[in-house]
């Protein structure tokens, strides 16, 4: 029987990271797809900004350092005998097993969810199906979920002249990334683009014979999906993902509501069985409570921790901080840690601070606005989260705040940040976005505020 010392189920960012790090060992990566894909870029293929081919990753990412690539799917794991049985009929013996099987979109079981034209948005097949429908004259689409993925897809469809309805049960768009009061500009941006936005509503049913013809909301409103010549429409659920853990169901591997349970060395409860990436349940690095962290920027660091452990180092995964970003119209939006509403829900009493500067000296042509909201724990003054809305990229600043959160920095630490300034790259030396927001909070600390 074929055997590898390390076998990894999954060729996404987590699996590829392990292949790149451990190619000198006897490691094999198993994935069914012809090519791995940059999922984050799928909306931009639909929009026409880049090609499908641009999003396909080279197999060399897996094999260049010596890892073996197996194009197959695992059908069954025999944990006692340490054997993987594949769809092709092949079988492999493993020394250590890493499960990196990712996540799948969550489709609520509303009546009609099985109709043609109702789908998730995760795979190359999903993207191709949407492109086919658009090329075939799709006139109307309903996107359920006003998070980053839903909005990025909605904008791509709008750019292709599809009439788009964006539906979410939350009070505001991007509810996991930014608070309602930071979302207003982005909301206006979408509305001005002609998007129909339905907030605080749920989809209760999708109507149609074989194909999706209408979406019914809990307000009683019906969004008609039929276009000219009776063509039916598209309904995409971008309302979160669930871990792909079908291989470990009814097995001794412990799972929680958000995935395979691992410790901070990515070990499951079984010896020689590890899990990394979207299929894993883990805790917030801030609250210590289980929180969702289905991002490539969490999957890769988890895989790196495990890679370094296999290389003999003592490393530990600290938890999710969930720094993330998106682009809405011409706005760049980022968030990290806890929003104010998430912090309050987690039991914190918070201080919030605000700041606004321009992205260049205001006298330099092209200077754009940049705003921040900072969230701090009232008891310890620890930084809990931040949100930035700007007309220029925000990720550098978001990462800096994430680092502050990871290091348990306080608002006093942030107000003392030593920063750089240059006419083309920042506001005047007199002020800095982060320091201003921190000082805004320090003013409130010295003048005690009523608890919200």
Ligand X SMILES: Cc1cc2nc3c(=O)[nH]c(=O)nc-3n(C[C@H](O)[C@H](O)[C@H](O)COP(=O)(O)OP(=O)(O)OC[C@H]3O[C@@H](n4cnc5c(N)ncnc54)[C@H](O)[C@@H]3O)c2cc1C
Which positions touch ligand X (CB under 6 A)?
A: 9-15, 30-33, 39-40, 42, 73-74, 100-103, 121-122, 149, 244, 247, 277-278, 294-297, 299
Helix (H) or strand (E) holding 192: helix 184-192
Report the chain's terminal Cα–Cα distance, integer Å.
65
Q: What angle do CA 417, 420, 425 make, to 5 degrees?
A: 130
Q: Which is nearer to ligand X, 150 or 233 (CB)?
A: 150
For 380-412, give the DSSP string.
T-BEEEEEEEESS--HHHHHHHHHHHHTT-BHH
Closest distance of CB 29 from ligand X, Å: 9
Closest distance of CB 127 from ligand X, Å: 8
Q: Which is nearer to ligand X, 151 or 405 (CB)?
A: 151
Q: What is the C-alpha separation between 245 and 261, in angstroms, rounded? A: 11
Closest distance of CB 14 from ligand X, Å: 3
Closest distance of CB 41 from ligand X, Å: 8
Q: Which is nearer to ligand X, 294 or 378 (CB)?
A: 294
Q: What is the C-alpha separation between 199 and 151, in angstroms, rounded? A: 13
Q: Which is nearer to ligand X, 153 or 438 (CB)?
A: 153
Q: 395: number of CA atoms within 13 Å, CB side? A: 7
Closest distance of CB 324 from ligand X, Å: 6
Q: Which is nearer to ligand X, 122 or 382 (CB)?
A: 122
C-beta of residue 212 within 8 angstroms of C-beta of residue 234: yes
Q: Which is nearer to ligand X, 225 or 295 (CB)?
A: 295
Closest distance of CB 300 from ligand X, Å: 8
Backbone angles phi, psi at 153, to 5 degrees: -70, -45
Q: Is 416 left (phi over 0), alpha (psi -120 to 50) or beta?
A: alpha
C-beta of residue 95 within 8 angstroms of C-beta of residue 272: yes
């Amino acid at each position: 029987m074929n055997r590898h010392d390390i076998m990894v189920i999954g060729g996404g960012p987590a699996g590829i990271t392990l292949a790149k790090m451990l190619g000198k060992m006897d490691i094999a990566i198993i994935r069914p797809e012809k090519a791995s894909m940059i999922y984050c870029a799928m909306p931009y293929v639909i929009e026409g900004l880049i090609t499908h081919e641009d999003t396909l990753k080279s197999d060399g990412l897996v094999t260049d350092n010596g890892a073996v690539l197996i194009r197959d799917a695992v059908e069954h794991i025999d944990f006692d005998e340490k054997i993987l049985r594949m769809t092709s009929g092949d079988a492999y013996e493993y020394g250590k097993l890493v499960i990196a099987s990712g996540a799948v979109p969550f489709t609520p079981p509303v009546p009609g969810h099985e109709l043609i034209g109702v789908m998730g948005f995760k795979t190359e097949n999903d993207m191709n199906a949407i492109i086919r429908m658009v090329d075939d004259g799709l006139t109307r689409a309903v996107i359920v979920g006003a998070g980053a993925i839903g909005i990025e897809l909605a904008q791509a469809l709008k750019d292709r002249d599809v009439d788009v309805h964006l539906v979410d049960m939350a009070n505001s768009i991007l509810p996991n990334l930014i608070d309602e009061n930071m979302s207003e500009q982005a909301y206006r941006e979408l509305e001005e683009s002609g998007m129909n936005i339905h907030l605080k509503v749920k989809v209760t049913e999708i109507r149609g014979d074989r194909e999706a013809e209408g979406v019914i909301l809990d307000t009683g409103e019906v969004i008609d999906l039929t276009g000219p010549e009776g063509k039916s429409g598209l309904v995409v659920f971008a309302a979160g993902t669930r871990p792909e853990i079908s291989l470990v169901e009814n097995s001794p591997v412990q799972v929680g509501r958000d995935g395979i349970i691992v410790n901070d060395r990515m070990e499951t409860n079984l010896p020689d069985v590890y899990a990394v990436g979207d299929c894993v349940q883990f805790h917030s690095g801030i609250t210590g409570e289980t929180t969702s962290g289905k991002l490539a920027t969490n999957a890769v660091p988890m895989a790196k921790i495990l890679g370094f452990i296999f290389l003999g180092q003592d490393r530990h995964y600290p938890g999710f901080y969930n720094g993330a970003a998106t682009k809405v119209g011409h706005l760049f939006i980022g968030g990290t840690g806890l929003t104010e509403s998430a912090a309050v829900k987690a039991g914190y009493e918070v201080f919030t601070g605000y700041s606004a500067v321009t992205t260049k000296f205001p006298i330099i042509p092209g200077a754009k606005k940049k705003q921040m909201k900072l969230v701090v724990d009232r008891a310890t003054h620890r930084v809990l989260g931040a949100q930035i809305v700007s007309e220029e990229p925000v990720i550098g600043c978001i990462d800096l705040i994430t680092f502050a959160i990871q290091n348990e920095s306080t608002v006093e630490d942030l107000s003392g940040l030593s920063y750089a300034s240059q006419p083309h790259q920042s506001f005047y030396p007199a002020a800095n976005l982060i320091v201003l927001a921190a000082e805004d909070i320090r003013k409130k600390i010295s003048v005690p505020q009523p608890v919200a």
